[in-house]
Chains A and B, each alone.
Chain A
């Protein structure tokens, strides 16, 4: 267990508590025996118990593994994640193929590729996905103003 597990355990504890509270609002028993809230209620309790053990164990036996861990969110990772969020956000506006081409170009540029490489791979990826999924497999993907 690492020092981070203390906080993760507390987070899971709170989550379990929330589940128990929400499950209590549902029927605990019904004419069928157990109600809608029975199973999630006990799962919430199990989460609280497990989270408590994780937290207590991490508190009693902290290890310094965290200090040698790599930086969790580098700028590159954050930018890549933002690009993914942007892709989903603009999906209905741009359509899948156009949005995906933009995403590929952005990610390749982020990885240090030249504009020429990034744009040509992005175009090829967009066209390839359109031909394979939309034309060949008839997968219904969001369509943008350009018709694909």
Chain B
């Protein structure tokens, strides 16, 4: 009942004209970002974040979240029409979506992707509404040691799932955490690692790092690549041609539900990400299908399941972010960083102290999903026509947005130098396969982890055993250690099973 009245209050907030307008702007920008290659969710949210500083925090979060989940809708368009995913989470949609387009069913493929995204996005929000407050109640009993252990576990899980090499992910996480220590020490007020650069005394902004790693890094990796105009299928502008048949809908009912469940659960796990949920969903759909041989040849369930999963994933990712203050991906890390920039303390008290923001945001996601469905069915041909714009015209503009976004945070040229530095670093990370998201996560969570660590040390009068003598923090630390040891243990068991086979 309490949840219902909060949700109704949330709808009152979300349906305010200004919030509706910025929700529409957010989801439209998100769709465009999802469609256009060369700019991802994290980069888009961090570039536009500084422009929201003068806004009401609730309105700003509604818009930024709109970009975040809007990209998932847009990503499928390029996968289906040009066999090129706009987002990594839409890679799997290429397999059957493009085959459907080859068979003259591009319209129904786009239609089922939008409908699956809508259903999963909406059902995922129910999960968020149920699980979010529940998790908050549990987390309210946490003290600084439990928080420290929780955040360590979150970062370890991200490192475990983020890249192909856990050690590389741990390295970038440590780098992010180290960057967060630059500037004033929150406890003593002393300067650390600033080397007499006054511009560094406030620390390194995560906007600079996220924009550099994700946007400038991506641009640098694409400069000079031949960017011939993409060949794509014609899409009818008639709504009737985009709607799947009743038979298609009946075939996909199970896929919608399975995709939602998989996406939501994977979304809640820090670091798992949309790509994992969509691939997992594709595998499950193939296994559940009575005609697995159709997969890869234009099976509509191969579009519905993964597209549903990568949208339910966004609602799932909001659960730890809103209830625990624990982001699980680069995108949610930037959203959490935005809350901090607006002067709002993330964590379990968020639901109690900022009900307008939290419930307004959740309700706006329902509204945004409806907007996205309306936008993505009749306006698909318009969005698709953007793909005709060659990348060489696009990337100078992306760079311009990056420069404006970063400069407007503190009006500091030093931030622009740092932007280029992190851009080069992001490019090299891409080349050498070092994941960037854990670095942003480390940077955003760094001050929170350090505060929890040092508060715990104050509580224990300098005794570090406080983390292992309290049951919850001890359990979380054990999970972290198991996650760290998992690759070694797995390799050991694999060798025992296959003697003589080198790992």
A19 in the interface (beta carbon within 8 A): yes
Contact status A40-B193, CB under 8 Å: yes
Interface residues on chain A, number (Cβ under 8 Å): 63
A4 to B429, CA, bound (A): 12
B458 / chain A contacts, CB cutoff of 8 Å: 32-33
A64 in the interface (beta carbon within 8 A): no
Whether A32 contacts B454 in the complex (CB less than 8 A), given A8-B432, A47-B178, A100-B400, comes out as yes
A140 in the interface (beta carbon within 8 A): yes
A43 / chain B contacts, CB cutoff of 8 Å: 174, 177-178, 181
A9 to B223, CA, bound (A): 27
Q: How far apart are A27's CB and chain B's nearest CB, in angstroms?
A: 7
Contact status B185-A36, CB under 8 Å: yes
User: Which of A30, A74, A84 lies at the interface centre, i.e. has the most chain B CB atoms within 10 A of its CB?
Assistant: A84
A39 in the interface (beta carbon within 8 A): yes
The listed residue (B168, B190, B420) touching A26 by CB distance below 8 A is B190
Residue of A nearest to B464 (CB): A34
Contact status B193-A22, CB under 8 Å: yes
Contact status A54-B178, CB under 8 Å: no
Q: How far apart are B432's CB and chain A's nearest CB, in angstroms?
A: 6
Contact status B416-A12, CB under 8 Å: no
B1 in the interface (beta carbon within 8 A): no
Contact status B224-A74, CB under 8 Å: yes
A69 / chain B contacts, CB cutoff of 8 Å: 431
Whether A36 contacts B190 in the complex (CB less than 8 A), given A91-B413, A103-B399, A140-B411, comes out as yes
Contact status A26-B192, CB under 8 Å: yes
A3 to B457, CA, bound (A): 42
Contact status B168-A54, CB under 8 Å: yes
A5 / chain B contacts, CB cutoff of 8 Å: 168, 432
A26 / chain B contacts, CB cutoff of 8 Å: 190, 192
B460 in the interface (beta carbon within 8 A): yes
The listed residue (B171, B408, B417, B423) touching A139 by CB distance below 8 A is B408
A1 to B454, CA, bound (A): 36
Contact status B178-A121, CB under 8 Å: no
Q: How far apart are B342's CB and chain A's nearest CB, in angstroms?
A: 18
B268 in the interface (beta carbon within 8 A): no
Q: How far apart are B175's CB and chain A's nearest CB, in angstroms?
A: 7
B407 / chain A contacts, CB cutoff of 8 Å: 96, 141-142
A115 in the interface (beta carbon within 8 A): no
* A-B residue pair count with CB separations less than 8 angstroms: 149
A101 to B453, CA, bound (A): 48
B246 in the interface (beta carbon within 8 A): no
A92 / chain B contacts, CB cutoff of 8 Å: 413
B188 / chain A contacts, CB cutoff of 8 Å: 27, 30, 32, 35-36
Residue of B nearest to A7 (CB): B432
B397 / chain A contacts, CB cutoff of 8 Å: 104, 125
A111 to B99, CA, bound (A): 33
A108 in the interface (beta carbon within 8 A): yes
Residue of B nearest to A105 (CB): B396
Residue of B nearest to A5 (CB): B432
Contact status B416-A88, CB under 8 Å: yes
B416 / chain A contacts, CB cutoff of 8 Å: 88, 91
Contact status A139-B193, CB under 8 Å: no
Q: How far apart are A137's CB and chain B's nearest CB, in angstroms?
A: 6
Q: How far apart are B163's CB and chain A's nearest CB, in angstroms?
A: 12
B198 in the interface (beta carbon within 8 A): no
Contact status A38-B396, CB under 8 Å: no
B450 in the interface (beta carbon within 8 A): yes
Residue of B nearest to A30 (CB): B188
A127 in the interface (beta carbon within 8 A): no
Residue of A nearest to B455 (CB): A33
Contact digits for A69-105, partner B, Cβ 8 Å, 1 yes 0 no: 1001010110011001101100110001000100110
B196 in the interface (beta carbon within 8 A): no
Residue of A nearest to B433 (CB): A2
Q: How far apart are B59's CB and chain A's nearest CB, in angstroms?
A: 15
Contact status A40-B178, CB under 8 Å: yes
Q: How far apart are A34's CB and chain B's nearest CB, in angstroms?
A: 4
Contact status B224-A50, CB under 8 Å: no
B170 in the interface (beta carbon within 8 A): yes
Contact status B413-A80, CB under 8 Å: no
A131 in the interface (beta carbon within 8 A): no
A14 in the interface (beta carbon within 8 A): no
Contact status B420-A85, CB under 8 Å: yes
Contact status A54-B167, CB under 8 Å: yes
Contact status A104-B171, CB under 8 Å: no
Whether A38 contacts B454 in the complex (CB less than 8 A), given A29-B462, A141-B404, comes out as yes
Given A91-B416, A111-B392, 4 more contacts at CB 8 Å?
A: A80-B223, A84-B216, A107-B396, A108-B393
List 23 A-B residue pairs with CB atoms under 8 Å apart, sorted by A's residue number: A1-B165, A32-B188, A33-B454, A33-B457, A33-B461, A35-B188, A43-B177, A47-B175, A51-B171, A54-B171, A61-B503, A80-B224, A81-B220, A88-B413, A88-B416, A88-B420, A92-B413, A96-B404, A96-B407, A137-B51, A141-B407, A142-B407, A142-B413
Chain B residues near A (Cβ < 8 Å): 51, 165, 167-168, 170-171, 174-175, 177-178, 181, 185, 187-188, 190, 192-193, 216, 220, 223-224, 227, 392-393, 395-397, 399-400, 403-404, 407-408, 411, 413, 416-417, 420, 423-424, 428, 431-434, 449-450, 453-454, 456-458, 460-462, 503
